[in-house]
Amino acid sequence: MRIQCTSCKATAKIPAEKEGAKVRCPACGHVYVARPMGSRGSTRSKSNDTRMMIFGGVGLAGVFLLMMVSSGGNEVEITQADELPELVEEVVLEDLTGWDSPLVKETRNIHKAAFERDKIKLLRALAMDRVYARVKTTEEREVIPGDWGVLSKDDQFTFEEELLNGMLAYEPSNLVAGWKPFDGEILVEEDSLATVRITLEPRDTELGVQTRHIDWRFIKEKGKWKAWKWERWISPAEKRGALVARASSTKKVTLEDGSKVFEAAPGPLEWDINTTAEQRAQIERLIGTLCAPDTRGGELFNARQELVAICRPAIPPLLTKFYEIDLEGFESYENQTAAMQVHQVLTEITGYITTFKAHEALGATDERRSSGVRQWFSWYHRRYKRFSCETEVKTEEAEPGLLFEPKTEQERRDYERALREAGNN
């Protein structure tokens, strides 16, 4: 039998034979009489309860005075009695929408299985045909769940491995394995569809990041709930905090050569929330090819072109790679070349120009390299949210004084030679 608290309206479930018992709401502690949801008794107002308590109190007082009169005139000292405790039957209520509800428990188990790297449990918890349809559907082609059944076993296995590896990745951008649930609620629960919102905290407390939220969507198949979609939900408070953080992290500085640029502290960035697990694997592979010291000619060109075609989702991981190279330092030729490749792809995607130069032949200095990395992160904090690949990029909007222009014939030759060397590597 479903019941509803007359104070906070939280729903719960008790055995039908407990109808009429006084129960205590686990959500707010209010005591009320258990009645089926929608019945007249279940919506009795508090004012009615109060009036009955007053009338009952007056009746008890009358009986007490009558006993005094009939005591033969013996003086009885009247003192204020302690409030009688309410008789409450401690009935265990089943949580239907909160932390201990069955669907929230199912979601918690998915996070636990990912943390424990239990692929078998994860596969059992997922509606793989619908996951496949969601991941593979594009603007040009719609994939339906039935397409999963026509795949070969090898293709199914490959897709499952790529998906699960993305869920098991222990990194801040992955909100499944690397984050621990501590609160949750059911937002929607219908006959066969449901949405659960989970609040998470990082398992690695040294990350210094705040809580995150993720919405899980379920479908009921053969009487069992299975997940088919999960995506980050950003609360209004988190959005306001991000805006404040971005505004405070960007500053305008003047370099030694007189260039005035915007800079922001670099650091690892989270993936765009719309990036699928399969696309993440593709981007990581392409960046690995782009930065590998043994990548040559056509393979390097193809990797650059594919990243440019991917466009917006490739920007955060490219900037994260830039940050990692900056941490290692630019002393080695390999890091210089990798950094220039990343910088070139970012420029092609965004049209933005910075002072970053990788090689001395291009006018590189330690200041230019370091500032160039920070300028890219400033661009990210100021413009990425509104950036669209369909929008025509106007390079003249970039800050002045950032283009490298050879001033002598020798400098031009050195510049062209460095570009050729970079292209051959």
- Highest-confidence segment of 48-52, 164-168, 243-247, 356-360: 164-168
- How far separated are the first and last CA of the chain, in Å rounded? 71
Reported as a single tens digit per residue, the pLDDT across 316-372 is 999 999 999 988 888 888 888 899 999 999 999 998 888 887 777 666 788 888 888
Per-residue pLDDT band for 259 (boundaries 50, 70, 90) equals confident
Where do the CATH 3.10.450.50 domains begin and end in the chain?
102-233
360, two tokens: 């001395």
**Predicted local distance difference test score (pLDDT) of residue 405:** 46
Cα–Cα distances in angstroms (integers) from residue 13 to residues 17, 19, 35, 37, 424, in the given order: 12, 11, 11, 10, 70
Q: Which of 22, 189, 6 is nearest to 14 (CA)?
A: 22
Beta strand 224-233 with 193-202 is unpaired
pTM of the model: 0.49
> Would you state the pLDDT for residue 415?
55
Complete DSSP assignment for 10-41: -EEE--GGGTT-EEE-TTT--EEE---TTSTG
Give the residue among 99, 105, 103, 106 at the shortest CA–CA distance from 184: 99
| Between 421 and 118, the higher pLDDT residue | 118
Two structure tokens written together for 216? 């899980």
Span 109-146, pLDDT tens digits: 999 999 999 999 999 999 999 999 999 988 778 999 99
Taking residues 95-108, report their average pLDDT: 90
CATH of 102-233, one of 3.40.50.1110, 3.40.50.720, 3.40.190.120, 3.10.450.50: 3.10.450.50
